[in-house]
Structure 1
């Protein structure tokens, strides 16, 4: 670790600032010096990350997600990146097939469990959640065009977690 970014260096800078008075010029000079010293190859990150966003698959709903086909279209890249790698081989192959696999979906907001079918949609090479999507989610949760929803796959419970992240403006 670069000594200029060590906790001792930060402590020394703050201590010197207190000893020498707290004029705005001293503060600016001390801060500039610290920034310059800390930007010389330091491997210490000062970025504060409060939490990792669990909602790996986010979607703003469209008319086709809410229509009579009773299906939610998911981007192929998101499914390939966040779901397929954590499924066992048989389930991953099932998702890629026309038959698909039954998946449980836990609605985090209402604390209710639902069943949907996850499969690759052959016409677009995307993935869809079908079954009672309209009944269990669209109508029950009063989803509208523009609402943002989120999903993530919980590999420990082998289910999707679902949440309405943001509601579109209502007329």
Structure 2
């Protein structure tokens, strides 16, 4: 997803510095707008050298996952880029919640 939807857009926009940072240990700072909360966060996007997977770090777990009680199937992340104003940020919104996991399938709770 990151390669096809983010890196590709950044390549077309000539944002070579951001692409290099994503692929380094440093990562690149990204802005994430929480649509429901109307609040912006600065997080890091980087590619893990061990698995080549891209991850979001920073306040992601605390601000999004734990506080909003997110689970697999809850989220869809979109990237909006307003090149005319030089703004690019991710817009985060919970479009639908995954159904609750039955107690019998929770694994020891």
Which TM class, normalised by the smaller chain length? 0.7 to 0.9
Report runs of 4+ in structure 1 exceeding 4 Å deviation: none
Output one character per residue of 1:13-72: Cα deviation in whole Å (capped at 9) or x when no partner.
xxxxxxxxxxxxxxxxxxxxxxxxxxxxxxxxxxxxxxxxxxxxxxxxxxxxxxxxxxxx
Larger radius of gyration: 1
Of 18, 27, 33, the match for 1:100: 27
The equivalent of 2:93 in structure 1 is 163
Output one character per residue of 1:65-95: Cα deviation in whole Å (capped at 9) or x when no partner.
xxxxxxxxxxxxx111110122211111111
Matched, 1:119 2:46: yes
Note the residue ranges of structure 1 that are not aligned, 5 or more in a row: 1-77
SS in 2 for 1:161: strand
Normalised TM-score (structure 1)? 0.51
Indicate the structure with greater helix content.
1
Note the residue ranges of structure 2 that are not aligned, 5 or more in a row: 103-109
Aligned counterparts of 1:97 and 1:155: Cα–Cα separation in 2: 23
Aligned counterparts of 1:154 and 1:97: Cα–Cα separation in 2: 24
1:94, 1:100 within 8 Å by CA — same for their partners in 2? yes
Aligned counterparts of 2:34 and 2:42: Cα–Cα separation in 1: 11
Matched, 1:140 2:55: no
Q: In the comparison of the two structures, how many residue pairs are matched?
A: 93
Normalised TM-score (structure 2)? 0.77
